[in-house]
Structure 1
Amino acid sequence: MGRVSQAQAEENRRRVVDTASRMLREQGTHVSVADLMKAAGLTHGAFYKQFASKEALVDEATAHAFAELARRHTAGLERYDGRRDAAQQALIDTYLSVEHRDAPADGCPVAALAADVAREGGGREARRVYTEGVADFTRFLATDDQDGIARLCTLFGALVLSRATTGSPLSEEILGAAHAALTQTD
C-alpha cells in the first residue's frame, strides 16, 4: 500500500482525535489504542505515525472536547442574540436532560473526564486544558446573582449522579431537582 497524501494524513489525524474525544468521554482514558484506531477505521500501526504516545492523544482529544464545548457556548449566545440568560437557560435544559445523561460520548467533557483527569499527574497537558475548560464554563454560567462555580458544580454533580443511578427513578429525580434549583426565581 502506498503512502497517504499529507491532506489524507491530516484528515486521518482529525478523525482519530475526534474519535478519541468521543470514546474518552464515553469509556474513560483506559480505552485501548487498538480500540480507538479500530473505531476510527485505521490500523493500530497508523497511530504511531500520528502520535508520540497515547498520553499525547489524550491531551489532544481533551483539548478537542473542550474546544467543542466552547463552540457550543458561543453558538448558544449567537442563537439567543447575545442574551446570556437565555443561552444559559437553554444549556441548563439540555445539560440536565435524559438525552445528555444517556449520551456521554457527545456530552460535557467536564463530567465525563473528571475522574480520569484527577488520576493523572498534575503536569499533564490534559489537566491544564481541563482546568482552563472548567474555568471557561464557570464564567459562561455566572450571573449577577449566582456564582458560575456553584452552578457548574450543581450541573456536574447532578449529571454524574444521574448517570450512576440510570435505570432507577432516582436518576430522573436528580436531574429534575438540580434543574429546579438552577432555575428557581426569587
Structure 2
Amino acid sequence: MRVSRAQAEENRRAVIEAAGRLFRERGFDGVGLNDLMGAAGLTQGGFYKQFKSKDHLAALACERVLSDSTERLTQLVESSGEDALPVIVTQYLSPEHRDQIAEGCIFPALGPDAARHSPEVIRSFETGIRSYLEVIDRAVQTSSDPAAESDAAVVLSTMVGALVLSRLAEDETLSRRILDAAIGSLLHRNGSNDRNDEPAIETADPDRP
C-alpha cells in the first residue's frame, strides 16, 4: 500500500525523533533497526526507503536533538536575562537532568560513543558544540555576576563532565557532591550546598538542553 509523500515525511520525522531518544538511552550499538522502527510505530521493512544506513539515521537523529536543544537553550537565555548563566548551570547540573538520560543532553549521553562513530556523526557533534558555546557565551556576557566563570568552553566542559561522573556514581551523596561541586566552581560559590542565592527556577522541561 503506497503512502503519500506527506505521510512518508511524517514517518521519517517520527523515526528520527525516536532514534534520538533511544540512542541517548541505550547507546548507538544498543538499539537495533526493529527497535528504531517499532518506537515510531513502523516496521523494519520501510527503513531503507527512508535512510541509507543506521549511521545515516544516527547522524540525522543527533543533528535533530542538538538543533532542538540549542533552540531551547537560546530561549532559556533570552527569558532569563542577567540570571541566564546560573539558570543554565543549575538546571543542567540538577538531579532531575542526571536521571533523565533519554530526554537529556546528548553530549554526556552519547559523546564517548560519537567519538568512535562515523565522521558524519562526529561532525554533527562538533556543530552542536559550536552552537552550544555561542549560546552559553551570550549567557556569560549578560551575567550580572562578574565572579562567575567567563569562558563558555569551561562552562560546557565542566557541566558535561560533571554530569557524566554523577551518573556513574550509585551513591546519591557522591553523585550530588559532584553536581554541587561543579555548580560551585562555575558560579564561584564558597559552599557546595549554598543555593540560597540562586534565582527562582520553575520546574524545567525534562527534555532540556
TM-score by length of 1: 0.90
Q: Does the aligned pair in 1 maintain the 2:62–2:121 contact within 8 Å?
A: yes
- Aligned twin of 2:22: 23
- Aligned twin of 2:173: 169
C-alpha distance in 2 between matches for 1:69 and 1:20: 15
Shift of 1:87: 2.1
Deviations for 1:104-136, whole angstroms, at most 9, x for unmatched residues? 111111111211111124xx2211110121122
Computed over aligned residues only, the root mean square deviation of the Cα atoms, in angstroms, reads 1.7
Counterpart code for 1:101? R
- Aligned twin of 2:116: 119
After the TM superposition, which of the residue ranges 131-140 and 34-43 deviates more from structure 2? Answer: 131-140
C-alpha distance in 2 between matches for 1:114 and 1:127: 9
Deviations for 1:19-44, whole angstroms, at most 9, x for unmatched residues? 00111111111111111111111101
Out of 131, 145, 155, the residue aligned to residue 136 of structure 1 is: 131
- Aligned twin of 1:73: 73
- Aligned twin of 1:52: 52
Shift of 1:59: 0.7
- Aligned twin of 2:4: 5
Q: Give the number of aligned pairs.
A: 180
C-alpha distance in 2 between matches for 1:57 and 1:137: 22
Deviations for 1:60-86, whole angstroms, at most 9, x for unmatched residues? 001001101111122113323xx2x42
After the TM superposition, which of the residue ranges 59-68 and 167-176 deviates more from structure 2? Answer: 167-176
Change (3 A) 1:33 1:172: same
Unaligned runs of 5+ in 1: none
C-alpha distance in 1 between matches for 2:189 and 2:99: 28
- Aligned twin of 1:153: 157
Higher relative contact order (CA 8 A, sep 6+): 2
- Aligned twin of 1:106: 103
C-alpha distance in 2 between matches for 1:10 and 1:44: 16
Counterpart code for 2:116? R
C-alpha distance in 2 between matches for 1:140 and 1:89: 14
C-alpha distance in 1 between matches for 2:40 and 2:4: 18
- Aligned twin of 2:32: 32
> What SS does structure 1 have at the residue aligned with 2:28?
coil
C-alpha distance in 1 between matches for 2:180 and 2:174: 10
After the TM superposition, which of the residue ranges 112-121 and 10-19 deviates more from structure 2? Answer: 112-121
Large movers: runs of 4+ above 3 Å? none
Unaligned runs of 5+ in 2: 142-148, 191-209
